[in-house]
Amino acid sequence: MTEEEQILETSDESDIKQTPNPKSIVGPKEKIRSRLPQLIGGLFLLGLLFLTWRLFGDRSNQAATKPREEVVPVETAVASQKDVPIEIRSIGNVEAVSTIAVRSQVEGVLEKVYFTPGQEVKTGQLLFTIDQRPLQAALSQAQANVMKATAAVRQGQDIVAKDEATARNLRTIAKRDNVLVEEGIISREEYDTAVSAADAADATVRSDQSNVTDLQAAVKAEQATVENAKVQLSYTTIKAPVSGKTGNLAVTAGNLVRSNDTTPLVTITSEAPIYATFSVPESELPRIKRNSASNEFKTEALIPGDESQPALGELSLVDNSVDVTTGTIRLKATFANTDRRLYPGQFVNIVLTLGIQHQATVVPSSALQIGQDHTFVYVVKPDATVEVRNVKAGGPTGELTVIEDGLRPGEQVVTDGQLRLVPGAKVQAKSRSA
C-alpha cells in the first residue's frame, strides 16, 4: 500500500468516527429529563440545610436574645415592736359655744361705734350708741304723766276725806234724831230725813274711794310707761352680751337702724372655750365608754397644716342616740382654746387616745394593700423574692399600723413599688425604718 492510500484510509476512518449516529442524537427535553434527579437532590439538600438552621441556629439566637429576669426596685421596712397608743380618728367641725347676732331693739340714728371689726370684746363692753333724744323726750312725757296722775290721786283722797267727815257728821245727827224721835221731840219724818242724808253721805264716800282707786291705777299705768320709756332709752346703748370676737360691721355710724332688723349690726362668737363636734362608728362606743375613765384617755385636735402642735381637750358629750342612717354616734369635745388656734367652722382631725398597747407589731401604713375581702402585705423572703401575706390590721397610729396577726417582728415588708409586684417577683430592696 502506498503512502497516499494509507492517508486516504486514515481520513476515511476519522470521518466515520466523527459522523454522528442518528440514534445517538439527544434533544432539549431529553437533557431536562436527564438532569431532573440532580435538581431534586439539590432542592432536598437545600431544604435539609434550612430545616437544620431553623432547628439549631434559631434556638441559639433565641438564647442569645432572651431577656434577663426583671428585678423590681422597691422600698422596704422591717416589722418592729413598739408601745403604741390605741387611737380612734375622725374628722371634726369646730363650733363656737355661743354665737350672738347683735341687733338694735329701737329705731334711731346710729351715733357711734366703739370697737374695730375683728376685735375681742368682753361682756358688758360698750359697742354702739343710738340717738337718745326721741326716747328721752318720751321718758320725760311719761314722767310728767305720772306726776299728773299722782296729783289727781291726792285730790281724790282729799275729796274722800271731806266726804267722810260729812258722812260722819250726818251719821251723828241721825243717831241723835233717833233719841229725839223716841222722846217725841221731833217727828218721825225729820228722823227719816236725817238717816237718808247719812246714807247718802256714806255712798258718796264709797264713790270717792272708788275714784281714788281708779286714779291710783292710772298712776301705776303711767309709772309702767315711764319704766318702758327707760328700757327703750337703755336700748340706745348697746353692750356686748358675751365675751368673744366681733365679726364684720354691717352698719356704720350715721345710718338709721331699725328695731330687730333682719341684718344684725355685728355678730359675736365666743371662742374660748370652744367645741369640736365629730362622729365615730357605733361599734367604737363600747371601747370609748370602757376607757373614758382611764388616765391615758385623752382628746386631741390636729389642725391641718399645724399637726405638730395638737390642741388638748376633753370629751364633753356622747349623744343619746345613734344615727340610724349612717350607723354613727355624735360626740363633742371642749377645748380651752386660749391661744385662739381653733376657729368656728374649721375642720380638724380629732384623735381619741383610749390607752397604750405595749409591744405591738407595727409596720408603715403604706405597706398595707387592700384586696376584695382581705388586707395583705408583700413580704420579702431571704432569696430577694416576694410573697403575698394576708394580715389582720389593727388601728393606725400616726404613720404606723398595728398588725394583730399574720406577720412576725423582724420580717421585711414592701412599703413602696407594690404596683409592679407579683408573687415570686425578684426585688431590689431599699430599706427604711418602721
The 3-state secondary structure of the chain reads: CCHHHHHHHHHHHHHHHHCCCHHHCCCHHHHHHHHHHHHHHHHHHHHHHHHHHHHHHHHHHHHHHCCCCCEEEEEEEECEEEEEEEEEEEEEEEEECCEEEECCCCCEEEEEECCCCCCEECCCCEEEEECCHHHHHHHHHHHHHHHHHHHHHHHHHHHHHHHHHHHHHHHHHHHHHHHHHHHCCCCHHHHHHHHHHHHHHHHHHHHHHHHHHHHHHHHHHHHHHHHHHHHHHHCCEEECCCCEEECCCCCCCCCEECCCCCCCCEEEECCCCEEEEEEEEHHHHHHHHHHCCCCCCEEEEEECCEEEEEEEEEEEEEEEEEECCCCEEEEEEEECCCCCCCCCCCEEEEEEEEEEEEEEEEEEHHHCEECCCCEEEEEECCCCEEEEEEEEEEEEECCEEEEEECCCCCCEEEEECHHHCCCCCEEEEEEECC
pLDDT band for position 12 (50/70/90)? very low
CA distances to 6, 186, 213, 312 from 168, rounded to whole Å, are 222, 21, 21, 85
Query: Hey, what amino acid is at 433?
Result: S
Question: Looking at residue 56, what is its pLDDT?
Answer: 57
* pLDDT attached to residue 433: 53
pLDDT tens, residue by residue, 285-339: 888 888 888 888 889 999 988 888 889 999 988 998 999 999 999 999 999 988 8
**What fold is seen in the domain 76-82+359-432?**
2.40.420
Q: Which residues share a beta bridge with 361?
A: 81
User: What are 157-188's pLDDT values in tens digits?
Assistant: 898 898 889 888 888 888 888 888 787 788 88
The whole-number pLDDT of residue 402 equals 87
Taking residues 22-43, report their average pLDDT.
Answer: 59
What is the rounded CA–CA span in Å between residue 233 and residue 254? 18
pLDDT of 30 strictly over 60: no
pLDDT of residue 434: 52
What topology is assigned to 85-96+270-357 in CATH? Elongation Factor Tu (Ef-tu); domain 3 (2.40.30)
pLDDT averaged over every residue in the chain:
83
- Written as one letter, the residue type at 40 is I
Task: Please report which confidence band the pLDDT of residue 32 belongs to, taking 50, 70 and 90 as the band edges.
Answer: low
**Nearest in space to 293 (alpha carbons), one of 320, 322, 321, 315:** 315
Residue 120 pLDDT exceeds 50: yes
pLDDT score for 24: 46
pLDDT over 70, % of the chain: 85
Average pLDDT over residues 144-152: 91
Q: With beta carbons less than 8 A apart as the criterion, state whether 421 and 386 touch.
A: yes
User: Is a pLDDT exceeding 50 seen at residue 22?
Assistant: no
The predicted-structure confidence for 383-416, as pLDDT tens digits, reads as follows: 889 899 999 887 777 788 888 888 889 899 999 9
Average pLDDT of span 272-284: 91
At 287 the pLDDT is 86
Task: Write down the pLDDT at residue 330.
Answer: 94
Q: Among all chains, which residue has been given the C-alpha cell 380651752? A: 336
Residue, of 433 and 37, whose pLDDT is higher: 37
Q: pLDDT value at position 2?
A: 46
What confidence score (pLDDT) does residue 3 get?
A: 47
The per-residue pLDDT for range 34-78, each reduced to its tens digit, is 666 676 766 777 777 777 666 655 544 444 444 556 888 999 999
- Do 380 and 421 touch, CB atoms closer than 8 A? no
